[in-house]
Amino acid sequence: MNTSVSRPGDGPFTERTPRVVAARALTRRAGRDKAGRFLVEGAQAVREALAHGRVHELFAAVPLPDDLAALAADAGVRVSPVTERAAAGLSETVTPQGLVAVCDLVAVPLAEALRGTPRLVAVLVGVADPGNAGTVIRVADAAGADAVILAGHTVDPHNGKCVRASTGSLFHLPIARSASVPDVLAACRAAGLELVGADGHATADLDQASPTGPAAWVFGSEAHGLSDDVRAALDRSLRVPIYGSAESLNLATAAAVCLYATAWRQRA
């Protein structure tokens, strides 16, 4: 880690400062993959990143809250003042918060995410919406899941919107990604997990047959759901019953219901 520094007499970094330019490249997936780093914005997410030792540098266009300043100092993290325009260039929000951290990527190998004896895992297959993916990571964290795995052509968990939607939860549990859906399903089964799909077309209802043992819940995209090939590879599929007149639940809400239903039964 870099030593925390103050810059008396120097102006704040601008959007043309080389370190700011390098950080701005992290707003794109190619830049993140090349550098092995990503951006985390906002006080709460930065706080989690600092607490988990992930931060290389913190850009600040606003005064640091005392607890963040203490965390940064304890971790030896460089705090670099930047102009509001520079901070806006690092932000992917309409109203930048003025705090952006450069962090190590959080994704781990599939085998590491499933190490030990996992009991509850969320698998996202072909989920393209970063807000949904980030919210599922947050829900999985809250439900006590052991890992979240992004399989196939799924959004990058380090995408800015995904990071914000996770509200720091992506630092709390293993996150893995693999382009091969069959490899992910096989690895989950080898780890002793029952493969259970969330499928609105399933014949069995969640409230009648929620898993009680170790399970990997498999969720598809909100637009297309799970493909026939994926459904065929699962041990079973369940649907969330709709008691009212709503056509369906969105992905993140359905994932919350499914993961909590299993977490409750596992703890009963």
The answer to whether position 42 is within a domain reads yes
**Domain limits at 58?**
18-105
Q: What is the pLDDT of residue 2?
A: 40
Q: What is the pLDDT of residue 263?
A: 96
Please write the tens of the pLDDT for every residue from 4-41: 444 444 679 999 999 999 999 999 999 999 999 999 99
The answer to whether position 5 is within a domain reads no
Domain count, the chain: 2
Q: At which of 105, 130, 158 does a domain end?
A: 105
Query: How many CB atoms are closer than 10 A to CB 228?
Result: 7
Task: Report, as ranges of residue numbers, the positions in the chain whose pLDDT lies below 70.
Answer: 1-10
The answer to whether position 116 is within a domain reads yes
Q: How far is CA 125 from CA 74, 91, 122, 227, 251, in A?
A: 39, 28, 10, 9, 11
Q: Is this prediction's pTM over 0.85?
A: yes
Pairing assessment for the beta strands 37-41 and 99-104 based on DSSP bridges: antiparallel
Same-domain status, 190 and 245: yes
Q: At which of 43, 72, 105 does a domain end?
A: 105
Same-domain status, 149 and 175: yes
Q: What is the pLDDT of residue 1?
A: 38
- Identify which of 69, 57, 156 has the alpha carbon closest to the alpha carbon of residue 102: 57
Same-domain status, 93 and 112: no
Same-domain status, 83 and 202: no
Pairing assessment for the beta strands 107-108 and 194-198 based on DSSP bridges: unpaired
End-to-end CA distance of the chain: 44
Same-domain status, 86 and 190: no
Q: What is the pLDDT of residue 5?
A: 47
Q: At which of 105, 133, 157 does a domain end?
A: 105
Same-domain status, 115 and 166: yes
Q: What is the pLDDT of residue 240?
A: 93
Longest dimension (CA), the chain: 69
